[in-house]
Amino acid sequence: MSITELTALELGAKIKAGELSAVEAATEALAQIKKKEKDINAFVTVDEEGALKRAAEVQKRIDAGELKDSPIAGVPVGIKDNMCTEGLKTTCSSKILYNYIPTYTSTAVDKLEKAGAVMVGKTNMDEFAMGSTTETSHFGATKNPWNLNNVPGGSSGGSAAAVSAAEVPFALGSDTGGSIRQPCSYCGVTGIKPTYGTVSRYGLIAYGSSLDQIGPIAKNVSDCAAVLDIIAGKDQKDSTSMERELDFSAALVDDVKGLKIGIPKDYFGEGLNSEVSQKIMDAAKVLESKGAILEEFDLGLVKYAIPAYYVIACAEASSNLERFDGVKYGYRTEQYDGLHDMYKRTRSEGFGAEVKRRIMLGSFVLSSGYYDAYYLKALRVKALIKESFDKAFSKYDLILGPAAPTTAPEIGKSLSDPIQMYLGDIYTVSLNLAGLPGVSTPCGLDSKGLPVGLQLTADCFKEKNIIRAAYAYECTGEFQPSPVACV
Amino acid sequence: MANKIDDATIEYVGILAKLELSDEEKEESKKDLERMLDYVDELNELDTSGVEPMSHVFPVNNVFREDVVTNGDGSADTLKNAPESKDGGFVVPKTIV
């Protein structure tokens, strides 16, 4: 068995036992990346030299007995290219940041490095995390390892594909409207979007600040829980990060007896692919057979989540992306006539079509005369959506449904009809609006051989419920993705 | 209700967004905004009177800490990213004629 097939925890255990070194693990990952990248394009930047140097340093720390408590010391990791990494180019997959080298490291990455994880590179994404396919990257689309003609999902498509193709055992992604869960669904890997405020956003290049969360993407639930244990926690540098109960790995218990699971009837209507629907219901029955109590119910407001999300996310994006002005970093246009012309040309040349589309919509809904009708209206609908979840979680420990209405679409089929593409986020965006945690974990393949993702949602701060149920499901071995074999 | 975005509006939004759109892009952007707004108007099916706008899910208000400097002077490294810099500052086009 090649070491690239190991999970993060398995690899970490071997390194801890001295069976192989951090440098060997990094070398193997880099070799796999070299082999796969021409097909997959999961990385914007592969930092071979830096990775080997970092691995050697980590090995020294391991040898000195410093990293005994870390289960991932020496394990290679891919970082989504919207998280700042000191000295290593961070582009957000945008032309406007094509040469940006941060002077500081994001808290989540810093915590991983303190625990001895070895960053091997920065993963591809939709430009500024705006997209559902990783096709809007300035550095070319990422391909789905299960079928190179299909998209890996997005916006954390590079991170999900890199794990699926066994280039790295785990990666970090970020999730504003489904950007961890949907690509995990399409790529047959597991990813968790934690409760808003669980992981510090310091150093994460902002898209929709009230919605953005960083989370782990890995081959199984145990790896995700272990990574979350490391990256979560209150951070002085992010005032929205929360003091809260952690120790997610304690929930890795193969027992769902008595767990009350609600299945929203309104998730299973028009627009949901019948094969996906079948796989999700099969997975629900597996949990039922292990003692969980299933009940169908009406969640309500499902179709309003997407329009509310796009108003809020675009409004925040139009404000957050004002900082890209050709003065402080990144791209500046060649020819201009005065300051304002320089701003406008720089931004018009530096941003791609989808980013400009969202900045325009965001600027419009925030402009005087429209602010109440659109922006405040969306914030009121957000309050209603939160209420409907509160009601559901007064009865259920978990909500179960699909992560996405279909499996991965073919490359080139999504961008021409934005609203259709946005509808693919129907099951994921409402969690961001309500701040809820969610996991996507694989639950089978469709007839085209593409993975289906099961989404489990819990109330705020109740990650343990989703981790427990996802782990119990995984323990049945109903679906074990074999990433290497499938590439 | 079909939304209609006129030339003046798209011009104004372009100024707010600090984007320079070609005539072709303006036409596309108009159609795009109209379609999105028609879609977003579905929200009006919901009665939200009496509902407070929720900007933040958790009741986190001002977060204070002691004002103690913990970082050093990173100005030289920061300026390395600037498209143009001079004498420890960012260079911008002349703004006062």
| Interface contact B18-A322, CB threshold 8 A | yes
Residue A356: active-site member: no
User: What pLDDT does residue A481 have?
Assistant: 60
The predicted-structure confidence for A137-188, as pLDDT tens digits, reads as follows 999 999 999 999 999 999 999 999 999 999 999 999 999 999 999 999 999 9
Set A137, A155, A174, A222: catalytic member = A155
Model confidence band, residue A115 (pLDDT cutoffs 50, 70, 90): very high
- Report the pLDDT averaged over residues A80-85: 98
User: What pLDDT does residue B63 have?
Assistant: 77
Contact, A261 vs A397, CB < 8 A?
yes
Residue A486 has pLDDT above 50, yes or no: no
Position of tokens 């030299």? A49
| Interface contact B21-A345, CB threshold 8 A | no
| Interface contact A384-B51, CB threshold 8 A | yes
Size of interface A-B (CB pairs under 8 A): 160
Given A304, A328, A329, which is nearest B46 (Cβ)?
Answer: A304
| Interface contact B52-A236, CB threshold 8 A | no
Residues of A in contact with B92 (CB under 8 A): 327, 339, 342
Residue A487 has pLDDT above 50, yes or no: no
Calculate the CA A70 to chain-centre distance.
23
Question: Looking at CA atoms only, how far is residue B2 from chain A in angstroms?
Answer: 15
Question: Looking at CA atoms only, how far is residue A319 from chain B in angstroms?
Answer: 9
Q: Mutate which of A236, A303, A323, A364 to test chain B, going by most B C-beta atoms within 10 A?
A: A364
Which residues of B, range 19-58, sit inside 8 Å of A by Cβ?
Answer: 19-21, 25, 29, 32-33, 35-37, 39-40, 42-46, 48, 51-58
Distance, CA of A95 to CA of A88 (rounded, Å): 16
Q: Mutate which of B4, B5, B67, B81 to test chain A, going by most A C-beta atoms within 10 A?
A: B81
Distance, CA of A28 to CA of A2 (rounded, Å): 9
Q: How many residues does chain A have?
A: 487
Given A210, A377, A381, which is nearest B56 (Cβ)?
Answer: A210
Residue A80: active-site member: yes
The predicted-structure confidence for A372-381, as pLDDT tens digits, reads as follows 999 999 999 9
Residue A483 has a CB neighbour count (10 Å cut-off) of 22
Q: Mutate which of A89, A360, A374, A433 to test chain B, going by most B C-beta atoms within 10 A?
A: A360
A170-175 sheet: strands from edge to edge = A43-46, A118-123, A76-80, A170-175, A213-218, A190-193, A438-445, A451-457, A398-402, A260-264, A293-297
Please enumerate in sequence order all residues whose Cβ is within 8 A of that of A203, keeping only pairs 6 or more positions apart, or say none: A83, A84, A102, A104, A105, A106, A107, A108, A109, A110, A237
Question: Looking at CA atoms only, how far is residue A417 from chain B in angstroms?
Answer: 10
Residue A185: active-site member: no
User: What pLDDT does residue A1 have?
Assistant: 67
Q: Is the dihedral of CA A457, A308, A196, A124 positive or negative?
A: positive
- Report the pLDDT averaged over residues B81-86: 96
Residue A61 has pLDDT above 70, yes or no: yes
User: What pLDDT does residue A409 have?
Assistant: 97
| Interface contact B90-A327, CB threshold 8 A | yes
Given B19, B51, B63, which is nearest A356 (Cβ)?
Answer: B19
Closest CA to A200 of A124, A109, A130: A109
Q: Is B17 on the interface with A (CB under 8 A)?
A: yes
| Interface contact B32-A357, CB threshold 8 A | yes
Distance, CA of B1 to CA of B95 (rounded, Å): 44
The predicted-structure confidence for A408-422, as pLDDT tens digits, reads as follows 999 999 988 888 888
Question: Looking at CA atoms only, how far is residue A181 from chain B in angstroms?
Answer: 20
Model confidence band, residue B71 (pLDDT cutoffs 50, 70, 90): confident
Residues of A in contact with B40 (CB under 8 A): 307, 310-311, 365, 374, 378
pTM over 0.95: yes
Calculate the CA A335 to chain-centre distance.
38
Residue B1 has pLDDT above 60, yes or no: no
Question: Looking at CA atoms only, how far is residue A352 from chain B in angstroms?
Answer: 12
| Interface contact A210-B65, CB threshold 8 A | no
Question: Looking at CA atoms only, how far is residue A318 from chain B in angstroms?
Answer: 7
Distance, CA of A192 to CA of A280 (rounded, Å): 18
Set A106, A174, A179, A241: catalytic member = A179
Given A332, A347, A377, which is nearest B48 (Cβ)?
Answer: A377
| Interface contact A338-B95, CB threshold 8 A | yes
| Interface contact B18-A100, CB threshold 8 A | no
User: What pLDDT does residue A421 have?
Assistant: 87
- Report the pLDDT averaged over residues A329-334: 97
